[in-house]
Structure 1
């Protein structure tokens, strides 16, 4: 029977087991058997540690058992440059440039599942090359106001179109052994007072407009992770919301992946324990904003949870469910022995970005057949507006990219 060392390659992992019996697993066994095998080997302290961040974009594994760390990266249209351990500032690497793919509003405008699969496959390869376990995208919130500064990250205002486009994107990313993290679940459709807004919507609108793309991503795309939203719904924050996470996502839809909080989207330990959150990131508690090195131990799902477990205030049922999901994510990503190596900044990726961008161009009118421009008749072309020369990939908060090359619209027209 073929045996493999649990987690890492033998040569790498052997020192971890110098003081204990090595842990072996049959690589041919189903993931669920391997999850249960790993679960019973973990201490309560190790389980709780897996539930929360250890840096801005990573959470710990279990070195004792060879379970690697989880590293996340922002998307959804390029791999974010590396940041410092405790801060949002760039780390200053010289090898973390990426290809800037068209914004998802452009991808949706292609009306092409083929382009969406191409997009997911290529951006997934770049995430894998940078050794990321989770790509924080795609976004599928429905446009409801042009003032939403994150509309460009989403797949439009039509729930059916978004549902058809998100599935191949998720599948394309995950064929690289990188989890797609579909966001922001749910009802994060505008950005004003997003941390405090309690969204009021009836069930028909919820199910017909705001949930279809998420449902398709889960049930058809088989997404391995979902990111909660900042806003409240039914008086509970979406990152620990009984109705959205337990009743609908994990109950009705049978989601078997990991629910990840948006950065700073967690607000309560008890609700986080019971209401469906699995991994907590970006909570600004007890000094994290000023870079306290041990602030991660004070996250809502860290020391406060551990204290409740040790005192008997809560049981281990919810804990084990969270850890099972995280272990399942590990076996699908960092511990998948057949995981491809990925690639970055390749000619194929630039060609894919060009094709998707071209397919996303929509001509609304062409009165008098002005286009294509007859260069024998047109002596000059006027290009008006700052965006003709502005470099756009460096803005947008979590969508900020460090690209190897960027071509402005004016340069493109001149070329």
Structure 2
């Protein structure tokens, strides 16, 4: 099949949604499909390139690089750019054969729907982060845009990440709606574990004997609240240590908090590490601490669960809907009690069930399976001559 993918976030961006779309395209190509991606142009990126067999086209930007994506002006410029995307894609499709469309962003859903109708192409939609994740979402332009998408611009098959959002979408569309998880790079995690020495990594991080190692992995930015991890450590017994993996504007603030709270000798700021080394650090830890104010589908949580590491996380994004024995959800004030009262059992190796449940391989199977079912329905019945 030749698939056309429409996404506002894509390679080389590393956010959760961009990672998911990029990995899906890689796996689809590995399985023998042709994939062309249309995504906005950003400064410093080529307007057209092929990476790992994936054709990536970035015809024009949708907003100034310095403008926050959900600011009022950015929403206006993104809507205007989506009209240009539609016109451009109509021109691009005029002499090309495409077997299916995949839309994965709020402002590409109407474009995908219009193209699917004009060119009689199957459309598979994906709803990632959405205000509908909230139990009682407040009115906002984003929520209005989302509900319009649900009503008018979904494909015959729609995938989302939570049962609650599935229920909301089903109120608006006649399409088939299903929950589909997928974020983990199965091969990368398996390779990292196979080459990691857990005991040596703990020793490298200065963890001795019966000491407990907590780890924070992420950008050092206010929205991620890395200072919260230091505050949690300060309320735990002295046998707990904290390794912070990541860098950013809050690094100096984090180091200052450690000094002021008297835990400087129990906190190690490792800076940014290669992904394989970050995975080895998570695997060596007794628990991952994620005190974020906002998340959507935090990759690091699912990586930690697949690596047999306990996770303590605030109730953000999709997290409250996930049921897992090593996942502990609560407010930041509850973290010290939750950590102290939880029996954390150290374990080497992989939790293969969790790895497969949240793997990109499973996600890819779901999307490609939907396109294949669409093509079976569309295939004409061959005429036969009776003897």
More strand by share: 2
Which bin holds the TM-score, normalised by the shorter protein? under 0.3
Q: Which has the higher contact order (CA 8 A, sep 6+)?
A: 1
More helix by share: 2
**TM-score (ref. length: structure 1):** 0.26
